[in-house]
Chain A
Amino acid sequence: MLRTLLDRLATTLPALAGVVVVSFLLTRVLPGDTAAYFAGPAATPQAIAQIRSELGLDRPLPEQFARYVADLARGDLGRSLTTGQPVTADLGARLPASAELTLFGLALALLVAIPLGVAAALRQGSLVDHACRVVATAGVSLPVFFTGLLLVYAFYFVLGWAPAPLGRLDAFASPPPTRTGFFLLDSLIAGDLETFRASLAQIVLPGLTLAIFALAPIARITRAAMLAVLAADFMRTARAAGLSSRRVVVTYGLRNALLPVVTTLGMVFSFLLGANVLVEKVFAWPGVGSYAVEALIASDFAPVQGFVLAMALLYTVLNLGIDLAYGLIDPRVRAAA
């Protein structure tokens, strides 16, 4: 197990190095002049030049890169010009917000998608199967900002059930003491049920928006994987042996179908984490996605590089976790490795 872990880690290092180089070059190749943007209105050419030299943008590229790598080695991702804060601090504050929202949305999606996928596979061609197809198609074809706005309109604006979409907490509530950065967990740790309820109320709509989007791939993959497993010999044997249908489907069927589902899950998670920009915008969620996009529009290099790097790291760790989970789900994978 440890051996596998170390092997895997070693292979990710070149990939990370590649990400560092590419993210640096890409942000430099992009058109746009950071200095001119931040010089603000009524800037003279001298003022722009002064800002450029202050940001070190007038140096040759190799020198800028050497500086960047040296800073990186010290754990310094640079400073964001849009928020004025160190990028590590910004990411540290925003990553938990994105992660909490994404996990919440994903959990909601799983709760619906897996039973739906299983049911659709068991009763192929039935009403459930058609429902699964419709839900999956609708889920992917509705853009998230549209679903988000629709939910805000219905549940906040018209019905008044949901709280104001003001971000992670109501403007008048104070956040729980930071332990995990997840407000839901932190408030429970602090035993503050009031704050727990408040943050739960805030996360429901954006979580639902993400869940609707994530539902489709998970339900489809579950259905496909289940179909393949249901046709397998061991399933026939299990049924012939007179096991209860629940035991057959859940213990033997689902467990064997989980491998592709978990793989998809990993992809959906990392995709959602970076791509839920629009949900973050609609619900004023202070996450990393909107942070990176704002920075990109302003040609603010440091946050973009930091974001790409953080995502690459996260993706690597996630893949590693999934690889290890394979072994737990299906011992044959462990043996093959």
Chain B
Amino acid sequence: MITRRTALAAGLAAPFVARHRASAQSPTRNETLLLVQEYGPNSLDMQGIGASQPVNGVALNCYDRLLRFKPVPIPGGSGHAVRMGDLEGELAESWQVASDGMSCTFKLRDAKFHSGRSVTARDVKWSLDRAVSIGGFATTQMNAGSLEKPEQFVALDDKTFRVDFVRKDKMTMSNLAVTIPFVIDAELAQRNGGGDPWAKEWLKNNVAGSGAYRIESWKPGVETIYVRNDAWTSGKLPQLRRVIARDIASPSTRRALIERGDADISYGLPPKDFKDLIDAGKIKVVGVPIPNGVWSVYLNTAVGPFTDVRLRQAVAWVLPYEKILQASLFGRGLDMSGGPETPQVAWPQPYPYRTDPAKAKALVQAAAPNGVSTTLLFDAGNATVAEPMAVLIKEALAGIGITVEIGKVPGANFRGEISKKTNPMVLNRFAGWLDYPDYYLFWTLHGANSIFNIASYQNPELDKLIDTARFTDDKAIYERSVTGFVSLAEREVPMVPIAQPTHDVAMQRTISGYQFQPCREPDFRYLTKGTAS
């Protein structure tokens, strides 16, 4: 029982305990990384339905794919990011696209699963079949790169594997390097599947991969411990032998841990904390502008006041871009206003609008002389950034006769709200894994009307340009289509880009080798721990 004595001892012992433990751990800590994050994985199977964002990290570190993104140095030299189409082999030793461009043949390297079995082309086929058949996000993501049905995947012999293309799609190869098409030990999974051909339940709780790390222990909601797979041959053996990922819900606590030096690396702090850490200069912060990620205001083009293009343009002319960047993102992002009249072949890129209330007022006067009232929704899960943004938008719009009521919607309801497509004004951040302008606009503005086409925008002319850009292999046509649809989107502004946020990670100066991945989860394979750099 807890007695007065233990309680008193607690108070008295606390200082000694803390100091004593710190000195006892030092030898093993050099090869161990302590990572703190907001929440951990809810499954170990990224292909499974309902897998949460951190499960990408499990897929990345514990499984291999055929291909991976080649590390591309971040300007400034504090780590590496990726570039679309710049790929290297992971399980594939080499690969060759057929001369007609309609298939690709992969030669597998000698790799072993954690179980000791050799990785064969049959395992690759089973895993990719699973990804396109299992449904949910995995299948959606596979389809995004024109990987649609099991017949596309052919195991020619033990070490040779072929993917047949349903159409020429520049995203197919890059899509083989994202975290979804990872290779599973098919025999082990099927043996433990208990009647389920895709072993969903078993793979949720077990890793059957060939990746650089194995899971030593997984306590959902508490911690995940990774240990290095010393037999990994699909890349350079990682330096870190053990990684402890603790789930620490409170950002203040995560910041205190990194500042005190108890945690090695901290994910997901509010932008203000990252700015403070950079200013203080004790902790290293590596920031990468999220490829294909933008905070935007979506203006509903199907119902409500913003069906009138003049009002949409008025919003684009009045948003306080610079103020938002400073007050809500604390400078951790890129301004999306004041761009050139003729767009570049890039996404995201600054629109030609800038804060010009007079111009905006004139447009509102012409379209709705009595002013309009509307609502602005955002996801409460993003409140740290979105709330100040929404308040600034409300303030700016009030000046031109648009009265805004702010609606803060809890995460689970937010998806429901945006899928209704009846909200006149929504603030959201969308980021696509595959960094192509046509990919982004396919999700957000195409007439296929995905859930992220929050503006419910329908324009056959835009659809045609996007579709052309997606499937052409002619560079000139591609560039013409991209500038075409971007300038159309700029004119019509169903979506007003505000800022491209930075993905920041805080780490001790002793940590180097940071590798940014499109899934934005930590890649332990490249990280090293040593003396201060």
Q: Interface residues, chain A, CB within 8 Å of chain B?
A: 31-34, 36-45, 47-48, 50-51, 54, 80-85, 90, 93-94, 103-104, 107-108, 111, 149, 152-153, 155-157, 160-167, 170-173, 184, 197-198, 200-201, 203-204, 207, 280-284, 286, 290-291, 294, 297-299
Contacts and interface: CB of A to CB of B under 8 A. Distances in A.
Contacts of A173: 21
A284 B451 contact: no
Nearest to A47: B136
Given A44-B451, A47-B135, A90-B220, A37 B415 contact: yes
Given A43-B136, A282-B252, A284-B246, A32 B416 contact: yes
A94 to B, nearest CB: 8
B17 interface: yes
Contacts of A282: 250, 252-253
A93 to B, nearest CB: 7
Given A47-B136, A160-B18, A284-B249, A152 B413 contact: no
Given A32-B412, A164-B262, A281-B249, A203 B10 contact: yes
A166 B264 CA distance: 13
Interface string B116-146: 0000000000000000000111011100100
B43 interface: yes
Interface stretch (B26-34, B63-71, B335-343): B26-34
B166 interface: no
Interface stretch (B49-57, B325-333, B349-357, B369-377): B49-57
Contacts of A93: 219
Interface string B451-478: 1100000000000000000000000000
Contacts of A291: 221
Contacts of A162: 14-15, 18
B382 to A, nearest CB: 13
Contacts of B252: 149, 152, 282
Interface string B202-240: 001100000000000001111100000000000000000
B244 interface: yes
Nearest to B381: A297
29 contacts: A32-B413, A36-B451, A40-B53, A42-B140, A42-B452, A45-B419, A47-B137, A50-B49, A51-B49, A51-B135, A103-B2, A156-B260, A157-B259, A161-B18, A165-B248, A171-B244, A172-B29, A197-B13, A197-B17, A197-B20, A201-B14, A204-B10, A207-B10, A281-B250, A281-B253, A282-B250, A294-B221, A297-B411, A298-B411
B410 interface: yes
Given A45-B451, A83-B42, A36 B416 contact: yes
B32 to A, nearest CB: 7
Given A152-B253, A297-B410, A41 B137 contact: yes
A85 to B, nearest CB: 5
**Interface size grouping (class) on chain B:** 35 or more
A50 B412 contact: no
Contact of A84 (B10, B43, B416): B43
A107 B452 contact: no
A163 B253 CA distance: 12
A284 B254 CA distance: 10
A228 B51 CA distance: 59
Contact of A165 (B13, B25, B257, B419): B257
A157 B260 contact: yes
Given A153-B256, A164-B262, A200-B13, A38 B50 contact: yes
B222 A184 contact: no
Contacts of A286: 219, 221-222
B6 A184 contact: yes
Interface string B146-164: 0000000000000000000
B7 A111 contact: yes
Interface centre among A31, A44, A173 (most CB of B within 10 A): A44
Contacts of B9: 200
A183 to B, nearest CB: 12
A172 B28 contact: yes
A167 B253 contact: no
A163 B135 contact: no
Contacts of A36: 412, 415-416, 419, 451
A33 B415 contact: yes
Interface centre among B20, B49, B415 (most CB of A within 10 A): B415
Contacts of A42: 137, 140-141, 144, 432, 443, 450-452
A209 to B, nearest CB: 13
Contacts of B412: 32-34, 36-37, 297-299
B141 A166 contact: no
B11 interface: yes
A50 B200 CA distance: 15
Contacts of B18: 160-163, 201
Nearest to B419: A36
A170 B17 CA distance: 11
Contacts of B42: 80-84
Interface centre among B2, B15, B219, B259 (most CB of A within 10 A): B2
Contact of B260 (A164, A283, A299): A164
A334 to B, nearest CB: 25
A283 B416 CA distance: 33
A291 B220 CA distance: 11
A107 B246 contact: no
Interface string B180-206: 000000000000000000000000110
A47 B244 CA distance: 33
A204 B137 CA distance: 43
Contact of A32 (B140, B244, B410): B410
B492 to A, nearest CB: 23
